[in-house]
A and B are shown apart, each in its own frame.
Chain A
């Protein structure tokens, strides 16, 4: 590692003091990338998988660092790190499954820097947070609009963000009950299958991370099963609807499906 950071393609660094400044700079420089916690972006840059001419550091913007309790919802700023979501008294009280999910991301050092906004803006199919967005009926806020989670997350590593647009926060619905169960990749801590099950007044939501090649998805067949009150052993026979299941060195598609069923079963069991 003699080169250190010099292995990256060269870039100009700008520290933004406000959302407006960050978005202005990004609009004027369409190849710019936002740097939040850097725990995904810096490894990407060190691998030379991206070459932004400008890196806009948004980690220090105060206005996106909030956690607000809103009676039937919790709003979390895009700049809040995973450790702070996991430690938050508000999140632990209102949506403990979300605090547990955040506290399970990566490792303690990564959690001290990695952010909610950074995670969802990347939409890595192996990431934990997108399942929470779908299961908790989340709204994603940007500098210019509000989007339902299902519209924000558009596919593997892609979101509805326009050039120059930045995530500023996420509002999560507060369910009656929720649980997150995950099989961690023993090396990376990413979910090989991560399932967040939430029960709202109008029924269950079951969202799965780490399994679908297009990213997190809602397993509607499992939701119907949970709503019907039938024994969750019935999950054994269920397939995920129209999802291409990831298959790699870590786990075959069949094994991932098995893990998904198991984690869904455990999460539903935790809700009883």
Chain B
């Protein structure tokens, strides 16, 4: 077991991990941040997407020790409180952009990364192309795309 430090949602933490431990396990099992999901475990579905050092990554395909010393944001780190959802979360509610919810945290973390990068320039075509690393079995993507385009347009940055 090795000791490591990681800042998660703004809080610096210490953990003892096996070298084989994946970042998604550290988050879900050690830290009980279960909003991040394991869908496929084969780097395809994107249900495990979090932000590592400001970039979206598939946490099932990162070793916890490789993330050591870095900063992680999970879905739990977005909203200020339950009463004040993040604008992207609100857009997903408004547009009915989820059904079972399993892909949703990964979709929202992906959307935040896209909006950070492209702001209100995001259009339907760009969003559809950029979501090729995230799979949804329920919605057919239409409402997810609408939610992201809407949130991007309101994001107030270009």
> Which of these binds chain A: B59-67, B75-83, B86-94?
B59-67
Count of chain A residues with Cβ under 8 Å from any Cβ of B? 30
Q: Is B56 a contact partner of A108 (Cβ separation < 8 A)?
A: yes
Q: Which residue of B lies closest to A43 (CB)?
A: B43
**Knowing A1-B38, A8-B20, A13-B19 touch, does A112 contact B55 (C-beta < 8 A)?**
yes
**Cα-based distance from A59 to B61 in the complex (angstroms):** 14
Q: Is A42 a contact partner of B57 (Cβ separation < 8 A)?
A: no
**Cα-based distance from A120 to B55 in the complex (angstroms):** 23
Q: Is A5 a contact partner of B132 (Cβ separation < 8 A)?
A: no
**Knowing A38-B61, A38-B63 touch, does A4 contact B43 (C-beta < 8 A)?**
no
Chain B residues, Cβ within 8 Å of A269: none
**Cα-based distance from A135 to B61 in the complex (angstroms):** 31
Q: Is B44's CB within 8 Å of the partner chain A?
A: yes
**Cα-based distance from A8 to B38 in the complex (angstroms):** 16
Q: Is A108 a contact partner of B63 (Cβ separation < 8 A)?
A: no
- A114 shortest CB reach to chain B, Å: 10
Q: Is A189 a contact partner of B19 (Cβ separation < 8 A)?
A: no
**Cα-based distance from A55 to B113 in the complex (angstroms):** 30
Q: Which residue of A lies closest to B58 (CB)?
A: A109
Chain B residues, Cβ within 8 Å of A10: 18-20
Q: Is A106's CB within 8 Å of the partner chain B?
A: yes
Q: Is B84's CB within 8 Å of the partner chain A?
A: no
Count of chain B residues with Cβ under 8 Å from any Cβ of A? 36
A-B contacts counted at CB < 8 A amount to 91
Chain A residues, Cβ within 8 Å of B63: 5, 13, 35, 38, 42, 55, 57
Q: Is B25's CB within 8 Å of the partner chain A?
A: yes
Q: Is A6's CB within 8 Å of the partner chain B?
A: yes
Q: Is A213's CB within 8 Å of the partner chain B?
A: no
30 A-B pairs with C-beta separation under 8 A: A4-B21, A4-B24, A4-B29, A5-B21, A5-B64, A10-B19, A11-B20, A12-B19, A13-B19, A38-B62, A38-B63, A38-B66, A42-B62, A43-B43, A46-B41, A55-B63, A57-B65, A59-B66, A107-B46, A107-B134, A108-B56, A108-B110, A108-B113, A109-B133, A110-B58, A112-B56, A112-B57, A113-B55, A113-B57, A188-B44
Q: 8 smallest A-B Cβ distances: which pairs?
A: A107-B133, A13-B19, A5-B20, A4-B25, A112-B55, A5-B22, A1-B38, A109-B58
Knowing that A13-B63, A108-B110 touch, tell me 20 more A-B residue pairs with CB under 8 angstroms. Answer: A1-B41, A4-B25, A5-B20, A8-B20, A10-B18, A12-B19, A42-B43, A42-B61, A42-B63, A43-B42, A43-B43, A46-B42, A57-B66, A107-B133, A108-B113, A108-B130, A109-B133, A110-B58, A110-B61, A187-B44
